[in-house]
Amino acid sequence: MNTGSDETGDVATAGDGAENERALGSRAPQFIKARRALHVSWQVGVFVVGLAVVVAGVIMLPLPGPGWLVIFGGMAIWATEFVWAQLVLRWTKRKVTEATQRALDPKVRRRNIILTSVGLVIVAVLVGVYLWKFGFVMPWSIPE
């Protein structure tokens, strides 16, 4: 837990070089940070709420639902109070931005479009062969 922060509750970032990033540390209201017992209780509450959201996201991964989005939402809840979660979110944002830039590269886009087209042609051929052989019948209704 981030109990070693300065009077304002923010720990300065070292060597980031990014002016638009907020300082690391607790974002709890000042009256909560002024009282240690209240601040620790606040951190426990934030951790429990964030944990519940992350667990819900993990449950949604194999089930229908926006699992990864909910997991990152739980991480954002944790990031309001814990430096480690803030660092994880910054790393994730940086990697997503890098992946977006790579995906927008014309060579990569062309490759992805070609692979998608080849995949769609393969699926279309398989569906065509199935329809030619069995007709418009569901697989579980085909006689043995």
pLDDT in tens, 123-137: 999 999 988 887 887
Residue with tokens 């992946």: 99
SS3 129: helix
> What residue has token string 């934030």?
46
* Residue boundaries of the structural domains of the chain: 1-104, 105-144
| Cα-based distances in Å from 70 to 31, 38, 109, 128, 141 | 30, 28, 28, 39, 39
0.75 surpassed by pTM: no
pLDDT, tens digit (0-9, with 9 covering 90-100), for 6-52: 444 444 444 444 445 667 777 777 777 777 888 888 889 989 999 99
Task: Report how far residue 109's alpha carbon sits from residue 143's, in angstroms, rounded to the nearest whole number.
Answer: 44
